[in-house]
Amino acid sequence: MFKSLLVANRGEIACRIMRTAKRMGLRTIAVYSDADRNALHVREADEAVYIGPPPPSESYLQIDRIIEAAKQTGAEAIHPGYGFLSENTKFAKALADTGITFVGPDAACIAAMGDKIESKRLAEEAGVPGVPGYAGDDQSDETLIQAAEHIGFPVMVKASAGGGGKGMRRVFRREDLEDAIDLARREGKSSFGDDRLLVEKLITRPRHLEVQIAGDKHGNVIHLLERDCSVQRNNQKVLEEAPAPNLPDSVREKLFSRAVELAKAINYNSLGTVEFIMGADDDEPAFLEMNTRLQVEHPVTEFVTGLDLVELQIRIAAGEPLPLKQSDIKVTGHAIEARVTAEKPAQNFLPDIGRIHHIKWPENIRIDAGVQSGSEISQFYDSMIAKVIAQGSTRQEACDRLIGALRSTAIMGVESNVAFLADCAAAPDFYNGEATTSFLGEVFPDGWQADESERETARVCAAVVWQAQRSAAAGYSGFRALSGAGLPARTFLTVQKEGDDPVDLVLSKSTEGYMVTHSDTASTVRVIELSENEAVLMRDGHCKKVTFSNTPEHFYLGFDGRVRTYSIMPTVEYARALAFAGGGSGEVTSDMPGSIAEVKVAEGDIVEEGAPLVVMESMKLLITLKASVAGKVTAVNVKQGDLINAGDVLVVVEEE
């Protein structure tokens, strides 16, 4: 066994690999780009080597620099993780030439399975049927079109070199075929440097099933059971589990024997995954592709087999024979993984970047994370930042634990898909083990939206925690801070949720805690516990545990897996901030509802910048709205006593 391991990757997978390597007593070496100077994987490594600028092509994909880093640090082996160089034949060959061990299969295995056309041919030769279709050398338009017509629509057009769900197009009608071929070709060329395509029958409402393979350098090949990864978005996995739910044993046997046949046929000698697709009501799994690396979803297999797949992979690479026989592999319980991404699920999953201000992970559950509080999410890499993996003795138990864990996760400062994941896991089709790859489209036909039913509760909780924290900071300790005893008789707060209109609240002392009034609704909230980032609140008899965090600009409140971002200020300060805001436009608007106490100008008046225009009243406060530019008053839309809404234009000053 070697004594040192360089991990040529980043994020959660680099951290996960190093965890096992350390447990095995290996010295761990990380590599990093400029964007990852302060990344978690760099902090967790024993040593770290800088390899270049942020774009992957200039750092994590630089074979020479990575080999140089290994030589510099005396690394005896390199683990490529997934993505990046994990399925790169050139890299595996280059390592073989330098005598550094590649933790993965022989370059020949990668080459055989690296492209979908070649691997489909090899699979058929090994007696493993693929999805019906065309995977030939003749790449002319006529041949591909003829093939599609022969297969019958709908079809899937795929880049042979594709991966990560990229480079594939569903085609439902003949007239859309040329465009799809053109697009898939261009995607293949630009993302993978290879424009060859294959055409397959599009399986409708299929399940994605896959088999974990383990082969060693002594000719032994076994499988480590199956996984179901049918919940996908853009052909990328979202939820993954082992074992596959509601799967007849006869199908399971076909999966196992087909996967092992293929792996044996190519003398597979590491960990790998054979992927299949199968119509939900069908019983013939068809070969899709083989991934010759560790898979993102390997933890669910670790739970149900009791094995550490990274350790197994490292031992195989070091030349050890498989420590287990096929008959030793038994399934125990059930495990489900959810991929946590820095994305805005309500805005069509737009990636989000920035600094994670605070993270609260759930307790008593496996979290494979590549980030922590303070981590920076950059635009250069994949949006997947962590995985939450739940296990249980039954599927339902695992599912309940996953949902519970996601609902008590709070990621603040960067948006995440956590609440979306919890909703997916709780949707009946998934919960009952009946999901197909059409799941998301069927459950969220108009896209996903956050549940807004607790809007009011969230706002009230945010205001109370904000105020309790302020009282605590002002020196009112213990019961006085929690109960609001340190408060002046009344506090006027303006609470504005990001993207929403501001709302004015009044917090008053009461024997029960804080009485919070908004328009004519009131509720009572008591702070039972308050620590640095967590609070337990009792609102109208209901207990609520929340996570919170404060920056100079924002107050974040997390519960139920959702994080809401507010700006909270005493109403006077808010009004002052408003009066000084604006600038340029000359339109004077109110950002909160109220009434007009006094109009100080008339149409035609010439005013200086900062001149008082209107005095409005809101929450018993008089607020003077001032001119943000110097000029002529061209419109006065209100008179004394008028009621106004947030956003109303009260006065217009035209700049002169």
Task: Return residues touching Mg ion (CB under 5 A).
Answer: 275
Please tell me the distance from the alpha carbon of residue 531 to that of residue 528, in angstroms, as a whole number. 10
382 binds, among ligand ADP, Mg ion, none (CB under 5 to 8 A by kind): ligand ADP
Q: Does 236 bind ligand ADP (CB under 6 A)?
A: yes
CB 280, min distance to ligand ADP, A: 12
Interface with ligand ADP (CB under 6 A), residue from 39, 69, 147, 203: 203
Q: Quote the tokens at residue 12.
A: 């959660």
Q: Does 271 bind ligand ADP (CB under 6 A)?
A: no
Backbone torsions φ then ψ of 310, nearest 5 degrees? -70, -40
CB 578, min distance to Mg ion, A: 52
Site string for ligand ADP, 488-527 (x = CB under 6 A): ----------------------------------------
Task: Between 115 and 275, name the residue whose CB sits nearer to Mg ion.
Answer: 275
Task: Between 228 and 275, name the residue whose CB sits nearer to Mg ion.
Answer: 275
Task: Between 77 and 288, name the residue whose CB sits nearer to ligand ADP.
Answer: 288
Stretch touching ligand ADP by CB under 6 A, among 139-147, 198-206, 387-395, 618-626: 198-206
With tokens 């400029």, the residue in question is 34
**Catalytic site residue from 65, 227, 293, 539:** 293
Stretch touching ligand ADP by CB under 6 A, among 159-167, 217-225, 491-499, 505-513: 159-167
Q: Does 208 bind ligand ADP (CB under 6 A)?
A: yes
> Annotated catalytic, 186?
no
Interface with ligand ADP (CB under 6 A), residue from 52, 162, 215, 299: 162
387 binds, among ligand ADP, Mg ion, none (CB under 5 to 8 A by kind): none
254 binds, among Mg ion, ligand ADP, none (CB under 5 to 8 A by kind): none
466-471-472 Cα angle (round to 5): 95
Please tell me the distance from the alpha carbon of residue 224 to that of residue 271, in angstroms, as a whole number. 10
3-state secondary structure of 652: strand
Stretch touching ligand ADP by CB under 6 A, among 68-76, 220-228, 229-237, 568-576: 229-237
Q: Quote the tokens at residue 603.
A: 């149409």
Q: Does 275 bind ligand ADP (CB under 6 A)?
A: yes
Q: Quote the tokens at residue 426.
A: 């709780």
Task: Between 99 and 193, name the residue whose CB sits nearer to ligand ADP.
Answer: 193
Please tell me the distance from the alpha carbon of residue 12 to that of residue 370, in angstroms, as a whole number. 4
Q: What is the 3-state secondary structure (H, E, C) of 242-293?
A: ECCCCCCHHHHHHHHHHHHHHHHHCCCCCEEEEEEEEECCCCCCEEEEEECC
Interface with ligand ADP (CB under 6 A), residue from 131, 310, 403, 557: 131
Q: Does 59 bind ligand ADP (CB under 6 A)?
A: no
437 binds, among Mg ion, ligand ADP, none (CB under 5 to 8 A by kind): ligand ADP
**367: which residues sit within 8 A by CB, 6+ positions away?**
361, 386, 387, 388, 389
328-331-334 Cα angle (round to 5): 155
Q: Does 237 bind ligand ADP (CB under 6 A)?
A: yes
**617: which residues sit within 8 A by CB, 6+ positions away?**
594, 595, 596, 597, 623
Stretch touching ligand ADP by CB under 6 A, among 106-114, 156-164, 398-406, 583-591: 156-164
Interface with ligand ADP (CB under 6 A), residue from 105, 206, 513, 594: 206
Q: Does 235 bind ligand ADP (CB under 6 A)?
A: yes
Task: Between 236 and 372, name the residue whose CB sits nearer to Mg ion.
Answer: 236
Q: Does 69 bind ligand ADP (CB under 6 A)?
A: no
Q: Does 435 bind ligand ADP (CB under 6 A)?
A: no
Q: Does 17 bind ligand ADP (CB under 6 A)?
A: no
Strands (E), 282-430: 286-291, 334-341, 343-344, 350-351, 354-355, 358-360, 366-369, 376-377, 384-392, 410-412
Dihedral sign from CA coordinates of 597, 600, 602, 608: negative
410 binds, among Mg ion, ligand ADP, none (CB under 5 to 8 A by kind): none
Window 538 to 597, contacts with ligand ADP (CB under 6 A): none
The amino acid that residue 378 corresponds to is S
82 binds, among ligand ADP, Mg ion, none (CB under 5 to 8 A by kind): ligand ADP
616 binds, among ligand ADP, Mg ion, none (CB under 5 to 8 A by kind): none
Please tell me the distance from the alpha carbon of residue 343 to that of residue 233, in angstroms, as a whole number. 13
Q: Quote the tokens at residue 170.
A: 């569903």
If phi > 0 it is left, if psi is from -120 to 50 it is alpha, else beta; for residue 348 that is left
Q: How many residues bind ligand ADP (CB under 6 A)?
A: 27
Stretch touching ligand ADP by CB under 6 A, among 232-240, 258-266, 341-349, 440-448: 232-240
Q: Does 382 bind ligand ADP (CB under 6 A)?
A: yes
Which residue pairs from 377-382 have beta carbons closer than 8 angstroms and sit at least 24 positions apart in sequence?
Answer: 377/342, 377/352, 377/353, 377/414, 378/35, 378/54, 378/353, 379/351, 379/353, 380/33, 380/35, 380/54, 380/55, 380/56, 381/10, 381/11, 381/35, 381/56, 382/11, 382/83
Environment class of residue 582 by beta-carbon count within 10 Å: exposed (0-12), middle (13-18) or buried (19+)? Answer: middle
Rounded to the nearest angstrom, the gap between the alpha carbon of residue 491 and the centroid of all alpha carbons in its chain is 38
Instruction: Specify which residues 448 forms β-bridges with.
Output: none
Site string for ligand ADP, 76-115 (x = CB under 6 A): ------xx--------------------------------
Stretch touching ligand ADP by CB under 6 A, among 162-170, 176-184, 407-415, 613-621: 162-170
Task: Between 272 and 484, name the residue whose CB sits nearer to Mg ion.
Answer: 272
Q: Quote the tokens at residue 552.
A: 């100079």
Q: What b/e sequence results for 223-262 when a residue is b if at least 16 CB atoms lie within 10 Å of its CB, and e otherwise?
A: bbbbbbbbbbbebebbbbbbbbbebeeebbebbbebbbeb
Site string for ligand ADP, 290-329 (x = CB under 6 A): -x---xx---------------------------------
With tokens 């597979």, the residue in question is 268
Q: Which residues are catalytic?
A: 293
Q: Enumerate binding residues for ligand ADP (CB under 6 A).
A: 82-83, 131, 156, 162-165, 200, 202-203, 206, 208, 232, 235-237, 275, 277, 288-289, 291, 295-296, 382, 384, 437
